[in-house]
Amino acid sequence: MKDSNCIFCKIANGEIPSATLFEDEMVRVILDISPASKGHALILPKDHYANLYEIDEEVAKHVIVTAKRQAIKMKEALGVEGINIVQNNGEIAGQTVFHYHMHIVPRYEGDKVNIKWEPGELSEKDKEELVKKLSL
């Protein structure tokens, strides 16, 4: 399934040119045109899923395996010191294109990438409540 109005569907399926690093029947990996760091890439499923809540589980598995392989390639080829794997769901979480995609962000000493938060505390009360509500 494709969305004819989705720019990432068009890129993933070759209708819009991209700097492609990898492609198979399920995904296309491209260089991000607004990179956070040198080598920043996106994994785009060829089928349209708005977010993590909608993505087919087999496609999701394939995306993470592809992310691992691309991260290893970045480590070897670019000598990166770390990698952030980022996947946003919903506008409040930073999603700007509503086609599931995963960012692979190479990290270098002294880079300006900021993917951090202030650690909070887990109270005993919250822990008990959350375990009850969130356990699968």
Give every strand in the sheet of 41-45, ordered side by side: 20-23, 27-31, 41-45, 102-107, 82-86
Nearest to 101 by CA among 57, 21, 23, 41: 41
Q: Which of 48, 99, 101, 103 is an active site residue?
A: 101
Instruction: Count other C-beta atoms under 10 Å from residue 58's C-beta.
Output: 9
* Catalytic residue flag (residue 101): yes
Minimal CA–CA distance to 75: which of 106, 102, 103?
106
Active site residues: 101
